[in-house]
Structure 1
Amino acid sequence: MLGHDEPPRWYWRFVWKFFTAVIIVAILVFTLVDFRTLTYGDYTYPLEATIVGFLIALSSVVMVPIMAIYKVFQLDGPILERIRVLLQPSSDWGPALQIHRIEAGAPTHTDSQVPLALPNYRFENLE
């Protein structure tokens, strides 16, 4: 966004790929290890209410792994190859407007459905 790589790009890749994932897994594990029956004053909630609460919380994120598994089994070939293909961005991934795609170095495409999208200009013509 700023036109330079400060702080280094490797830092953000490490944070988003590894550090964040480890922290989220650690939070999940420590939540399950430290689980206690829920209470409100003198009232102790039944186990069924706690289970329903966890199911409601999981309902917002459960589609992500379900769709990932579905997409892996939808493709043909060895399992590692299917996962590698699915982890690659598609040709239309990136900013919607052509001017922003050029600035970001993203692949350009001309089939944009975004109003006011610019045609495929060469970056030299923008200066």
Structure 2
Amino acid sequence: MLGRPLPALIRFSCAFIMPIFLLFLLIVSVYTYRPPTLGSYTYPVYATAIGWCFFMLSVVPIILYAGRELLRQKGSLKKRLMVSTRPTIDWSPACQDQNLPFISHGDRLSFRELILFNLCGKRGKNYSTDSQKEPETMLS
């Protein structure tokens, strides 16, 4: 998309540091939650409930959609997760000039290869951009 690989620090930060930091922030926020106050005034319970409702309006649809997609798939839970989190066959960048560099959804990386890819920005020597596999063959 940029015409050049992202710097290693950006790739490492997006792949490892930020997810860990955000998970830590979520856990600390939930653990240290106190009802909102303004000086000595404590907001009523219904105001807190309204705030939680606004929060849930943005989170619940994501959870429901993910659950629906898992239920629609067939097979074991692991197989359903793998199929549900893979891009569809017709997915590609909107700009056709950008199709070549994106990783084909037919390729699966091991955890070690994924870490190396995020650190180095390059695939192994066996990687080819034209390997398009059908979803059924990728699960075996």
TM class by shorter chain equals: 0.5 to 0.7
After superposition, the CA RMSD in angstroms is 2.5
1:48 counterpart residue number? 46
SS at match of 1:73: helix
Give 1 or 2 for the bigger CA radius of gyration: 1
Gaps of 5+ in 2: 105-140
CA distance in 2, matches of 1:35, 1:106: 41
TM-score by length of 2: 0.60
Match of 2:74, SS state, is coil
Pairing 1:4–2:24 present? no
Aligned partner of residue 60 in structure 1, secondary structure: helix
The normalised TM-score by structure 1 is: 0.65
Q: Does structure 1 retain, via aligned residues, the 8 Å contact 2:36–2:42?
A: yes
Runs of 4+ in structure 1 deviating by more than 6 angstroms, as ranges, are none
Residues 2 and 49 of structure 1: CA distance in aligned 2, closer, same or farther (over 3 Å)? closer
Secondary structure at 2:59's aligned position in 1?
coil
Q: 1:71 aligns with which of 69, 72, 89?
A: 69
Report what 2:37 is aligned to. 39
Distance 1:26-1:11 versus aligned 2 partners, 3 A rule: same
Matched, 1:29 2:35: no
Return the alpha-carbon distance in structure 2 between the equivalents of residues 21 and 59 of structure 1: 22
> How many residue pairs get matched?
104
- 5+ residue gaps, structure 1, are 108-127
